Each structure stands twice: as C-alpha cells, then as structure tokens.
C-alpha cells in the first residue's frame, strides 16, 4: 500500500499544467533549462526538475505622488501609473526572478526618465502642457532599458500633476493679487464709463430742457397772439361791452384780495361805479 501511494505521488509530481495566462520556466537542479509558453499538460522529472509559473497578462504599477524639479528648479508633484507584461520569461526569471522585484525596477527606471523630462520643462508646461509629449520619450527610453529584463512597458500615464502645499499657497496669493489688480482695472474702467454716461445724460437733459423752454415760450407767444386777436375782434364788435368786461375783470383781481388801493374817486378806474351811483341818484 505504501509502495502504491509512493508511486502515485511520484506520478503526480511528474506532470504539471500550464494555463493560457501563464508561461512556465523549467528548472533543473535550480538552473533554468527551458520555457513552456503553450497551455497544456507537460512532463518533468520529479525531484530533479521544478517549474516556476509566470503570469503573461498585463500588470500595473502605480505610485504615490512624488516631487520633481522643473527647469526653473521649482518642485512639482507627479503621480503616474504604468502597464507592463513579461515578453521573455527566461530572461525575466534570470534577471529579476519575480513580479515584486520587477515592479521595483520598473518604478525606478520610469521615475528616472520622468525626472529627466520634467527637468527640461517649465512649471507651466508641466501643469498645463501636452502630457503625451512628456510621456512618449519616457515610455521609449524606459522600454529600451526594460527589454534587457524581459519586460515590455506597454503604457505610462500621468494621473495627476500638482504643487506642494507651500508652493500652492504662493501661487494662490499671486493669483489673488493678479485678480485683485484686474478687478481694480475693471472698476476704474467702469467708473470712467459711468462718468462719461452721466456727462452725456446731463448734456442731453440740458438740451431737452432748453428745447422744452423754447417750445413753451413759442406756445405762450402763440397763445398771447391768439388772445390779442380774440380781444381785438371782441373790441371791434362791441367796444363798450368789451371795455365794461375788462373793467369787471380788473375789479375782480384788484378788489378781491386783502391789498389796499389808494385811488382818487375821480380816477377812470371807477368810472362804472360813478355811472351806477349817478344813475341811482346817490
């Protein structure tokens, strides 16, 4: 029974399965002897050979924002991620052994080339410029370095570009000063435009009042002329009645108030009063 169990264990240790997402590196006494990249069931010598499986799928690398210096020696925070895959399993195993070591090497290489590209650019271009123009040289240079490790860098992307807190505060203060200056300029222009509008309005007001006064005087003159014409026509039809009517108007305006008039009884002003008194015998 023990012999049968030993045989089963030996047989099970003699075969291994390679999946579609894997590559297999066969080791003999710890040294790589061949690579299996096609999926299937394979044989190996038990106790002599061992198998290391490597993932062929895309892997990603990401990091926390790190500080880089621009061409003006100003610090800027850059956060990036990278996608990579194993293209040469045997080279990969002999150079970096595992994915954790590969991640560390990829981070160091990409950061090195990215630091060089950022150091060639001004701060404004790093923050607002075309990031593809900054990343393409990094991707090409890093790929040349990583090929020797059996790794292909598929993509590198900038996730975020920012400023350190102390630099950010200085930028905010500068932006605030610029906006304040711009606001003051707008206020000055507005005050100047308002003054021009008020002056124009005052000029138009004076002109309108002058035209209105002229029209009023013209209308008064026309009215006086028409009134004189009417008075003249009325006087021509019945001079005695017209004289009597005008005297009554004068009596109403002069004697109706509290003013004191000192006139001679023989004054022409009282001629109709005298006529009335003589007719009554008084």
Query: How confident is the prediction along the chain (282 residues), in pLDDT tens digits per residue?
Result: 666 666 666 767 889 999 999 999 999 988 999 999 999 999 998 888 999 999 999 999 998 899 999 999 989 999 999 999 999 999 999 999 999 999 999 999 999 999 999 999 998 889 888 888 899 999 999 999 999 999 999 999 998 888 888 777 777 788 888 889 999 999 999 999 999 999 899 889 899 988 898 898 888 888 888 877 777 776 666 676 666 667 767 666 666 656 666 666 666 666 666 555 444 444
Return the CATH superfamily for domain 59-163: Band 7 domain (3.30.479.30)
DSSP letters for the chain: -HHHHHHHHHHHTTEEEE-TTEEEEEEETTEEEEEE-S-EEEE--TTTEEEEEEE-S-EEEE---EEEE-TTS-EEEEEEEEEEEES-HHHHHHHT-SHHHHHHHHHHHHHHHHHHHHTTS-HHHHHHS-HHHHHHHHHHHHHHHHGGGTEEEEEEEEEEEE--HHHHHHHHHHHHHHHHHHHHHHHHHHHHHHHHHHHHHHHHHHHHHHHHHHHHHHHHHHHHHHHHHHHHHHHHH-HHHHHHHHHHHHHHHHHSSS------TTSGGGHHHHHHHHHHT-
pTM of the model: 0.59
Domain boundaries, the chain: 7-55, 59-163, 247-282
């Amino acid at each position: 029974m023990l012999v049968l169990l030993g045989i089963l264990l030996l047989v099970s240790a003699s075969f291994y399965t390679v999946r579609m997402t894997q590559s297999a590196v066969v080791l003999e006494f710890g040294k790589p002897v061949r690579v299996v990249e096609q999926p299937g069931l394979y044989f190996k010598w038990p106790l002599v050979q061992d198998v290391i499986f490597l993932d062929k799928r895309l892997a990603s690398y990401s990091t926390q924002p790190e500080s880089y210096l621009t061409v003006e020696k100003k610090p800027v925070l850059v956060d990036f991620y990278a996608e990579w895959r194993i293209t040469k399993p045997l080279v990969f195993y002999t150079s970096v052994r595992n994915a954790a070591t590969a991640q560390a090497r990829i981070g160091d290489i990409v950061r090195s080339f990215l630091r060089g590209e950022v150091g060639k650019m001004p701060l404004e271009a790093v923050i607002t410029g075309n990031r593809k123009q900054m990343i393409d040289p990094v991707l090409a240079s890093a790929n040349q370095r990583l090929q020797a490790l059996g790794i292909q860098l598929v993509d590198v992307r900038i996730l975020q570009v920012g400023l350190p807190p102390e630099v950010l505060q200085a930028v905010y203060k500068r932006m605030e000063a610029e906006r304040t200056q711009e606001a003051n300029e707008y206020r000055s222009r507005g005050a100047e435009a308002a003054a021009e509008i008020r002056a124009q309005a005052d000029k138009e007001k004076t002109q309108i009042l002058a035209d209105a006064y002229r029209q009023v005087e013209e209308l008064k003159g026309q009215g006086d002329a028409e009134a004189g014409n009417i008075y003249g026509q009325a006087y021509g039809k019945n001079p005695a009645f017209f004289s009597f009517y005008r005297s009554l108007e004068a009596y109403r305006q002069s004697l109706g108030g509290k003013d004191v008039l000192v006139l001679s009884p023989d004054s022409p002003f009282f001629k109709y009063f005298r006529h009335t008194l003589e007719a009554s015998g008084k």
